[in-house]
Each structure stands twice: as structure tokens, then as C-alpha cells.
Structure 1
Amino acid sequence: MPHDSLKAAPRVAFFAALLAGVLHTAAFAPLDAWWLQILALAGLAALSWSATPRRAAWLGAGFGLGWLSSGLWWLHISMHQFGGIPWLLAALAVLLLAAFLSSYYAVMLALLAQLRLRTQPGAGLHALLFASVWLLAELLRATVFGGFPWLASGYAHTTGPLAAWAPWVGIYGISALAALAAAALAALALPAVRAWRPAAAVLGLLTAAALLLPQEFTRSTGFLKVSLLQPNVPQDQKFDRERIDGNLEHLAQLIESARGQLVLTPESVVPVPMAYLDPDYLLRLQAASVDRPLLLGSFLGSEKEGFVNSLQSFGSLPSYNYGKRHLLPFGEFIPPGFHWFVRLMGIPMDDQARGQHQRAFAVAGQRLRPLICYEDLFGEDFVASVRGPEAATVLANVSNLAWFGTLMVQDQHLQFSRMRALEFQRPFIRSTNTGATAVLDHRAELTAQLPPAQAGVLEAEVEGRQGETPYARWLYALGLWPLWLVALALPLALAWRAQAARRAS
């Protein structure tokens, strides 16, 4: 009987970590429960505090699997409902992706356990080490194989006290601070640890700093009236040859009804390359844009050179086009060896070319920096656009999330835009096919939004901003390297100390 109990204990701990991961997902939008993110991660910190490396790895894998499978379940919709893959195979694909991404957390927690066994750190040092390895895992997920940082833990803190750190340390710095707070809570809760002083010091310093940190780094550049289109075309009708003409007619009517100084459409709102459009239709769009510019989502390029997911300008201003560079794996470019899988889903335009330049678009005294869908997860890619004399005063995202339904994914993507607004203190406007079409100010406050799954034009006013946050300055100069160095410093120092102690003995 005791033997059976000992065998069951690791399984109980694994499922507890799995449940903590699911609760971690609940902390993100639409609930915006920042405190739940810290509590859920504190649960993982407590479960793994004295675990062996092998057990710590399983706990990290369980937490990541619960978190990322519950947070990315909507990928199943694109594969099954629109890609035609059997639902069981699509569900397995989501689980495999979640398991792969969870491996970063498994390896890092195993590293933590190994260092703890060799160095026996105190509670305060253990909490710092937990934050270090958590940051390493987040950075690995954000960069390896092009990166897939969807639902990085810091995104849960677009509200709450840690949001004040955004213009200073950015999303991954907040992820590390949240992990430090979680480990401090675990130190308070564990009867065998009960490290009141270091835990109170950590929590007190984080709270005090959040209250005292300067927050205003940008200044107003005036206002811009924008018209943000939301056509609400179902994904199964978007590329239907029999419906394209009707959808394009509806799009033209929305454009003609818009009243803003700038008209912005969603990503690939014209689902065929621009070269294939009827010249009369192009003339109609040009006629509707005589007094104000239109940025139209379509595809530029050719079959020989490749097609680029783009925004093309219409109107009296100089011609402008913007091409997407950071492409989504499997949806916009096919990783080597996976052509067979992507071909099963029959995704149109599934292997695209990358855009060539990323300059801002000047309109009515403002400078607009477009981002197409997935690109707004990578602030390090476009930080140069918010610096210097020609810095963007407004950030804009155009998306088509109809592939993934309306539940959770739209709220999550809006939350990512909110974090970029906080990091760079720029307003953020969003034009999407089915939601979330919205306007955020430079404090990430939602000032206007269309209901999801409803066709219409959001007429709104946005205040441009200029100036640089501390995060923008050091991210531009050094990239993510300062965070890598911070994350590696303590583990490397402890590993060196353990090696030195072994040699001395």
C-alpha cells in the first residue's frame, strides 16, 4: 500500500500543475485577472520548490500543457472547420504544439532543481532563480524557430500594479517580475519554508516601485479621425469564388460610407492579389479616396516572386504599400518538412513572401505604423519605428481572426495590442474582419470598439503621441540581450559556484 501511494504522488502533482496551468490561462483576457496569473504560477513554484530535476521537468511540462492547450485550443477551429482535418487529428496537433512549447518550461524547471540540489540556495535566492529560469523559458519561446510568444505570461498584466513596469522593462521583464512575485508567495505559503522576510521584501519592493515609477514619456501630436472597417465576412465565404464579387461590393460600400481622415481595412480584406482585380473596381476605390487616404488589405507581388500580405494605399497622398515580414508558421509560411501537413488543410496563400520595408505612413500630421496580425507580438521587430524624428505617432494592426472563431482569440489579440501601447506609449488602432476592431489610447485604455461578428465602420478619434519610453530606448540599442543576460547571470553564477565547491572538495 505505501508503495502504491508513492507511485501515485507524482501523478497527483502533475495533475495539480496541469490544473494550475489552466487557471493561468483564465488570468488573461477576457477576464483580465492579473492576480490569478501570479497565484497560478505560485502554485507551480510551490509544487516544484523541492522537486528532483526529473519531477520538476514533469511539473513544468504539466503546467505548460494545461496553460497552452487551454489557451490555444481555438487553433483546432482553423484546422478542423476550415482545413478539413478530422477533429481528433486537429486536437492532437494542438496538444503536440502545446507539448512542444511546454518543453521550454520543463527544461528550465529541471535546471532550477539541479542548481538547487547543488547549491542549496536560501528562499530569497531560490525565488530569484525561479524568476531567472522562467524568463529564460519565455525568451526561448519568443525566439526559437522564429518565436511563438502567444500568451506570454506578462500579457496578463496589462492591468494591475505590474503594468506600470511596461514602459521600463517590456513584456518579458514583466513576465520575470510576475514569476518573482509568484515565487515569493510560494515561499510564504510553504510550511517548510515560510520565508517571511525575503518574501515580504520582494512583494513590497515590486509594489512600491510600481507606485513610484515615472509613467509619462510621450506627448501629444494632435488628433486623427479614423474609420476602421469590420466587414464580418465568414471565413468559409472569404475565398469562395461565387461570393467574392458580393463581398467586394459590400467592402466598397463600407469604404464609401466612411467619414474619417484615414480609412483602414482588415488584413487581406481583398482575398485575391491586387493584379487580379477589375480595373473598374480599383477606380471606384480611388474615387472613394480622393479627400482622404485608404489603406487596403490585399496581396502584392507575382507567382514568380511570391505574394506578400500587404496594405496598399489609395487616395491623393503619395503611393504607399506595406508588406508583412514576420510570418505565421503553417499559416503564411511552411517550415521545412511540413508541406504535406499544410497541404492537407488547403489554406489559400499558405507560403508567402516577406515584405521589404517597414516605414510609417504620413497622414494628416500623424505617422501611422502598420502591423499585420501576428506582427504585433514582436515589439523588438518594430521598435525602430517609434524612435527618431520620423517616429510613428500611431500604431495600427489589421487582422483576420475569422479562422479561429470569436471566443477568446479576439480578446487575447487585443490584449497584446494593449501591451504594445503600454510599452511604447502610443495609441493603437485595430481594423479586423470579425473583431476586435477597436481604438486604444497611449495608456492602453479602450476608447472605442465595435461588437464582434458585426459588420460596420468604427468612426473614432485617436490622439497621436511622440517621445520615447525607457524600454524603447534600450530595446532599440540592445535588443532583448539585456534580458538574456539578466536571466543567465544567476544560473551561471550558481553553476560556477557549485563547480568551484566540487573542485575544492
Structure 2
Amino acid sequence: MRPVKASTAAAVALAAGLLQTASFAPTDAWWAQLAALALLFGLVDRATPRVAALCGALFGWSWMASGLWWLHISMHQFGGIPWLVAALAVALLATVLSGYFALALGLAARWFAPGRWRLLALAPAWLLAELARATWFSGFPWIASGYAHTVGPLAGWAPWVGIYGITGLAALVAAGLVLLKERAWALAAPALLLPLAGLLLPQDFTASSGRVAVSLVQPSIPQDQKFDPARFATNLDALARLIESAKGQVVITPESVVPLPLDELDSATLARLSRPERPALLGAFLGNADDGWVNSVVALGSNYHYGKRHLLPFGEMIPPGFAWFVHAMGIPMEDQARGDHQHPWDVAGQRLRPLICYEDLFGEDFVQSAVGPDAATVFVNVSNLAWFGTAMIQDQHLQFSQMRALEFQRPFVRSTNTGATAVVDHLGRITARLPALERGVLEASVDGRTGSTPYARWLSALGLWPLWALGLLTLMGLKRAAS
């Protein structure tokens, strides 16, 4: 078999990376993710180690750059960074993230000769690359491969193996497609049966804990007005009106909907926001200048609050050496403190577990809230995505909540500033959603759930280590078999 030319491999890898991005929400084209990875693996199977690493780098760069382009909006439109510098920053981030895939595929090509053993080795290598991206340097697993499978036959694996297990299974299916082309029927068949198995696996692990009526507030405040002191009074008045119109048993507002420390809110406004007959979670900042400000949600009328734990680099925490870049964007409260109080909020006969913004990407961080007698019955995500516009970002983030709902079989309710304010049931289905940029309140009845999935149980006990071990041991076993 003739090695693939570097120029041809580069062009196909770039195109396949774009196809990978197209597989995520809002298209939900799960099959495109398998096709994209099969294209990449087909290239790597015939490539030298150097070309294999190049393919991984270009595929990853194309995927990350096209899937994260909206970061440019926050830096240029709201941060005041020149558009070219902002574009270069996105390109640099894509380059760094693509390094995981370049390293994984390059090493797999070095350790395995072209043929069936290399193709099989690409699946655990891909899994390890995605695990590294999700956990190293605080982790940034945005649009990880498995998220394309919140729908489709592989979704049935979610309550058993979670997002990264699905990522590995999808890579194995992609390798199976290439093996099928190579007529290695005996090796291809088990891999290609994995989607069928996903359709047949038991799925009933939780039971209803009753229903709760929630009011999800979407104030739709433009980002350039959100932290403008001249707009505070107007924006807070509009927020109070939305809360006063709410009909649910519990009212939930977005992240930092009060864009200043809660102690600085005047008593009259606080009285309007606090309705004794209707508990509310209010997004605000707690803390002080000395100990640090904490991005929080506060249960008005009670002593419950939750502070964000997993902070966003460059937006909420400053990585060493990058203070100049963050300060240049003028992000309010850009160096925050980590919060506390991770237990659920007991209210209206349910236990609500808040998550702030992209914390819902890290199921391993809050899995303890999905097991045991005091486990949450409903997960709540509050976000402000107005920094990034509306194209792609909102649908991508909503898809992450869908995956968490599938993994833990818990409903997710989402209150956001500009979208996607939505309700996701315990089977990952979107049952209600407000249009983007529409000011209003989404009224919904949500079925809380008790019980734990197999994934929640083993993840709470062992973390992601079983998947790390599976990836490494599989590579070692394949290397021995190929020798």
C-alpha cells in the first residue's frame, strides 16, 4: 500500500476537521462525526509517523478553529482587542489544543506499522488524547467528540460509560469503518456492532421524585450594557418585572444577572427581587476585594448559596504570564476566587444542584451530586453567553447539558441571559426552549429523578481513571499482539 502524500493528507485532514465540527449541534449529525474520524484514520493508516502527526494537527486545528471561532466576538467586540489579534488568539488556542491529537496519532503511527493493528490502536490513542484535553491544565473539553452522540445509536451508552467512553467507542466504530474498507471483516464486525448494542442496552435507572414548576428567566441584556453602571437601574428594574411575572414554584435567573456584589444592591431593589411566596436563585457576586469575588447563585430568603468552582481561564482566572492579555480586554472581576457549598438546594420538594456556565462540561467534578440518598433530583445551569453571540455557542452548550442528562438521568434546566434557556428531560430531550435574544420567562413543569446510573456510580468511586487505564492497557495489548 503506497503511503499517502503529505499535501493530499493535509487537505483531507482539514476538510475532515470541518466535517467533525458540523456533526455537533445544531445539526445533530452524529453520523458525520463517525465519517470525519474514519477519514482521518484512513489517512493515518497509510502515513509515516510525521505525516500522521501532521494529519492529527490539521484535523484538530480545523475542528477547534471552526468550532470555537465565536471566542473572537468576546475578544474583539466586547474586549476591544483588534480583530486580527483576536483571530490570531483563536488560531493559537486551536493550535495548542490540536497538539493532543498530533501527539496521539503520531505516536500510534510510530509504534504500529500500517495495517489492522495500527487502525485498532488509533481508537485508544484518540480516547487518551481527549481525556488529556479534558483534564490537563484545568481542562478544556469543549465539543469533545462524544458530544455529537447525544442523539443516535451511541447515545444509549451514556448512562453506562459517559461522554469519554462514547468518545472511545465512536473512535472504534470509525476504525471499524476503515477496516471494513480493508476487508478485515472479523475485526470490523465487533466495532460496527457497537451502535446496535447502544440501542439494546438497559436504560431505566432512575425514578420520578415528583414534578416541580420552574420559571427560567432570560433578561436578554446586551453584553455591552450588562456592566455599564449607567444601565444598572434600568436592567435591574426589568429583571424585577420578569421575576414578578413568574408563575413557577421556583424562579431561576442567569449567571451574574446582578452584575455587582450582592452587598452593594440597594434594599428596595433586593426587596423587589425577593418574593417570600416564590423562592428564587439569583445570579450575583459574593465575597470581597481582599479574599476575592465569587461568581455565585444565592437563594433569596434562605441561607443557601453556591459559588462557582471550575473557573474559566482568561475569563475568571488569569493563567500565569497572561495578566497583560486579560487586562487588555477589560473583563470585569477577571480574577475570581473559587466558591463553596456544592450540596443541592432543598426546595419545593426537590433537590436542585446549581452549576454555573461551563461547569456542566465537567461531570466528574459534580458526580457526587448524582449518587447517594441526598443526590440532586434536578440539575440547574445558569449562564451568560452574551459574550459570544448566538451562532453555534448556544446550541453547543445546550448539547453538553443534554449529555449530562443522559449520563446521570437527571433533568437539566437552564436559565441564561440571551440563550439557550431551555429544559432538558432525564433522557436528554429538549422539552422547552426560549428563542435566543428574546426577553421573557420560560415556564415549565419538570420531573425530578432519584437513583443512579452505572456511569454515575463508577465515576463517583473511581473518577476517569478506568478510562485512562483502558486506553493504556489496550494500546499495550495491541502492541504485544502486533509484535
TM-score category of the 2 structures, normalised to the smaller one: over 0.9
| Contact 1:51–1:113 (8 Å) recurs in 2 | yes
2:20 paired residue among 24, 33, 38? 24
**3-state SS in 2 of match to 1:111:** helix
1:402-427 per-residue CA deviation (whole Å, 9 max, x = no partner) reads 00000000000000000000000000
2:454 paired residue among 465, 470, 477? 470
Measured in 2, the distance between the counterparts of 1:312 and 1:211 equals: 41
Match of 2:187 in 1: 198
Match of 2:231 in 1: 243
Q: Which amino acid aligns with 2:411?
A: P
| Contact 1:268–1:297 (8 Å) recurs in 2 | yes
2:91 paired residue among 90, 95, 108? 95
Deviates more, 1:274-283 or 1:75-84: 274-283
Match of 2:219 in 1: 231
Q: Which runs of 5+ in 1 are unaligned?
A: 1-5
Q: Which amino acid aligns with 1:310?
A: S
**3-state SS in 2 of match to 1:326:** coil
Q: Which amino acid aligns with 2:401?
A: S
Match of 1:126 in 2: 118
1:497 offset after TM fit, Å? 7.2
**3-state SS in 1 of match to 2:284:** strand
Q: Does 1:34 align with 2:26?
A: no
Measured in 2, the distance between the counterparts of 1:210 and 1:258 equals: 40
Q: Does 1:434 align with 2:418?
A: yes
Q: TM-score, normalised by structure 2?
A: 0.97
1:301 paired residue among 280, 287, 292? 287
2:268 paired residue among 241, 256, 280? 280
Deviates more, 1:489-498 or 1:267-276: 489-498
1:490 offset after TM fit, Å? 2.3
Match of 1:77 in 2: 73
Measured in 2, the distance between the counterparts of 1:389 and 1:67 equals: 41
Q: Does 1:146 align with 2:135?
A: no
| Contact 1:312–1:320 (8 Å) recurs in 2 | yes
| Contact 1:226–1:459 (8 Å) recurs in 2 | yes
1:56 offset after TM fit, Å? 0.5
Structure 2 matches for 1:157-168, cutoff 5 A?
157-168=149-160
2:245 paired residue among 233, 257, 264? 257
Measured in 2, the distance between the counterparts of 1:320 and 1:299 equals: 14
Measured in 1, the distance between the counterparts of 2:289 and 2:25 equals: 39
| Contact 1:115–1:491 (8 Å) recurs in 2 | no
Q: Which amino acid aligns with 2:27?
A: L
Match of 1:178 in 2: 170
| Contact 1:310–1:322 (8 Å) recurs in 2 | yes
Q: Which amino acid aligns with 2:153?
A: P
1:263 offset after TM fit, Å? 0.3
1:385 paired residue among 369, 375, 384? 369
| Contact 2:109–2:118 (8 Å) recurs in 1 | no
Match of 1:449 in 2: 433
| Contact 2:344–2:354 (8 Å) recurs in 1 | yes
Match of 1:310 in 2: 296
Q: Which amino acid aligns with 1:281?
A: T
Measured in 1, the distance between the counterparts of 2:199 and 2:394 equals: 31
1:494 offset after TM fit, Å? 4.8
**3-state SS in 1 of match to 2:294:** strand
Aligned length: 481
Structure 2 matches for 1:49-60, cutoff 5 A?
49-60=45-56
Q: Which amino acid aligns with 2:110?
A: Q
Match of 2:311 in 1: 327
| Contact 2:153–2:196 (8 Å) recurs in 1 | no
1:335-357 per-residue CA deviation (whole Å, 9 max, x = no partner) reads 01000011110111100000022
Measured in 1, the distance between the counterparts of 2:75 and 2:378 equals: 34
Match of 1:3 in 2: none
Deviates more, 1:44-53 or 1:376-385: 44-53
| Contact 2:173–2:192 (8 Å) recurs in 1 | yes
**3-state SS in 2 of match to 1:28:** coil
Measured in 1, the distance between the counterparts of 2:209 and 2:263 equals: 37
**3-state SS in 2 of match to 1:369:** strand
| Contact 2:75–2:81 (8 Å) recurs in 1 | yes
1:92-151 per-residue CA deviation (whole Å, 9 max, x = no partner) reads 10010001000000000011101113xx6x62x434311100000000000010000000
Measured in 2, the distance between the counterparts of 1:495 and 1:335 equals: 38
1:405-454 per-residue CA deviation (whole Å, 9 max, x = no partner) reads 00000000000000000000000100000000000110011111101110
Q: Which amino acid aligns with 1:373?
A: C
1:492 offset after TM fit, Å? 3.0
Q: Which amino acid aligns with 2:374?
A: E
Match of 2:394 in 1: 410
Q: Which amino acid aligns with 1:326?
A: H
Measured in 1, the distance between the counterparts of 2:48 and 2:219 equals: 54
**3-state SS in 1 of match to 2:202:** coil
| Contact 1:115–1:494 (8 Å) recurs in 2 | no
Match of 2:103 in 1: 107
1:273 offset after TM fit, Å? 0.6
**3-state SS in 2 of match to 1:47:** helix
Q: Percent identity?
A: 65
**3-state SS in 2 of match to 1:310:** strand
1:282 offset after TM fit, Å? 1.3
Q: Which runs of 5+ in 2 are unaligned?
A: none
| Contact 2:79–2:331 (8 Å) recurs in 1 | yes
Measured in 2, the distance between the counterparts of 1:244 and 1:258 equals: 21
Q: Which amino acid aligns with 2:5?
A: A
Measured in 2, the distance between the counterparts of 1:248 and 1:493 equals: 61
